[in-house]
Amino acid sequence: MATRVVMPQVGITTTEGLIGEWYKQEGEYVKKGEPLFSIETDKVTTDVEATADGIVRKIIVPAGKMAPVTSTVAIIGDPDEDIGPFLGAAEITTITAVGNGEEIKHEKHEEQKWLNQKGKRIKISPLARKIAAAHGISDAELQSIKGSGPDKSIIKRDIEAYLGQRACQGAPADQKVIPPGEVGTTFISKETVPEEQRKIVPLSNMRRIIAQRMLQSHREIPPFYLKMEVEAARLNLWRQELNERLSKKGTDVKITLTDFLVKASSLALRDYPELNVSYSNEGIIYHQDINVGIATAIEAGLVVPVIKNADGKSLYQIAKERVALIRKARQGELSLAEISGGTFTISNLGMYEVEEFIAIINPPEAAILAVGRLRDKLYLAGGTVQVSQCFTMGLTVDHRAVDGATAARFLQLIKERLEDPYGLLL
């Protein structure tokens, strides 16, 4: 029996994935559980296994192309089986520029063939055809447009790129038009930016989706911001003592400020479950597990590996897991499970000498904690100037789901637990 191979869902916010490589070609046999193709998303690069035994009858989305999650990318079946019913509808993804970011839209194609007045077939999606008709694009013009959809069919972005090019055919010679088919068509004045000083680097899949998701967060979530300063002298001293003990035991794992933050935040989320939520149109979703993500910079962009059930783990367990996750992140080896299911995120830029900053919420979570560098602080005590250590925490909260007073008490509890770190062992 024929089986659909679909683009997997990598976390509840991922909308699409890039097919990196097909390990089996059409006509080849594949066994259930055998790696079939690789995918890239904004979160991870990983292999996808076949879900059934059989012949790869049809590869619908070739390597190097995008596909929405849950859409069919291939068909596995018996050699002589009729797979026509499985090919009746295909989903492809188009990209439309929105402000400074991008918006993902889906076009569903029951049939991508259209005949012109002379009976010659033109492969074009219904949505693209509608836009072309609205702008008076002739059949002859359609035949000159190079499609970027499945089987080189013309889709929405091809029509929009053509319209942009056509509008600028009479533009001054000092403007450069990027040809149709390139993502993010722009017009750049040579008078403003000389040719030899200009470089355009195409967006990677990860960078494009990060941009789209951050725009979504900025556009849809009404945030509010809280800031508190943490006295860290006792915390830093205790961290040094713990690492000395770990070193004597022969372990190379070192506990960092991030580990204390994960532990303190997870315990605070247990006491204030109102922060361990997601907003939806149906209501506030309360998450049973407390899964803390750690924003991690990698060469291609940003990923957020997740420490699951962090409130039930010791500082050493958190540190050991953090080291393993960040190593995998930087080597591109994170699994789907290791970047899914986060309910709260921590972003620590202290190692870059950043004193304080405001972080953007990672949807669908309701809050994110931004942490600055550990620094010396002067204060008066008994008429003399003393020196202590401190750092600043900034909390960004989704006001649709959480009220200000609740978020303030939550942040205050994190501060108290960090300033009295022995309590993190209880």
What percentage of the chain's residues is helix, strand, coil (to nearest 5)?
30, 30, 40
| Alpha-carbon span 413 to 269, nearest angstrom | 10
Strand partners, 22: 37
| Alpha-carbon span 165 to 181, nearest angstrom | 11
| Alpha-carbon span 304 to 343, nearest angstrom | 11
pLDDT at 10: 64
Domains of the chain, earliest start first? 3-88 (2.40.50.100), 112-206 (no CATH), 220-425 (3.30.559.10)
Q: Return the CA Rg of the chain.
A: 26
Per residue in 322-367, pLDDT (tens digit) is: 999 999 988 878 887 888 889 999 999 999 999 999 999 988 899 9
Per residue in 130-150, pLDDT (tens digit) is: 778 777 788 778 888 888 776
| Alpha-carbon span 55 to 50, nearest angstrom | 11
Q: Report in angstroms the alpha-carbon separations of 106 from 64, 125, 148, 156, 363.
A: 18, 11, 14, 10, 20
**What's the mean pLDDT when you consider all of the chain?**
81
Given its phi and psi angles, is residue 377 left (phi above 0), alpha (psi -120 to 50 degrees) or beta? Answer: beta
For 406, the token pair is 């609740």
**Residue numbers annotated as active site:** 399
Per residue in 186-217, pLDDT (tens digit) is: 444 445 556 666 777 777 766 776 777 788 78
For 369, the token pair is 């904690």
| Alpha-carbon span 36 to 178, nearest angstrom | 35
Question: Which whole number is the average pLDDT over 276-297?
Answer: 94
- Which residue has 């620094």 as its token pair? 375
Q: Report in angstroms the alpha-carbon separations of 170 from 51, 158, 181.
A: 54, 20, 20
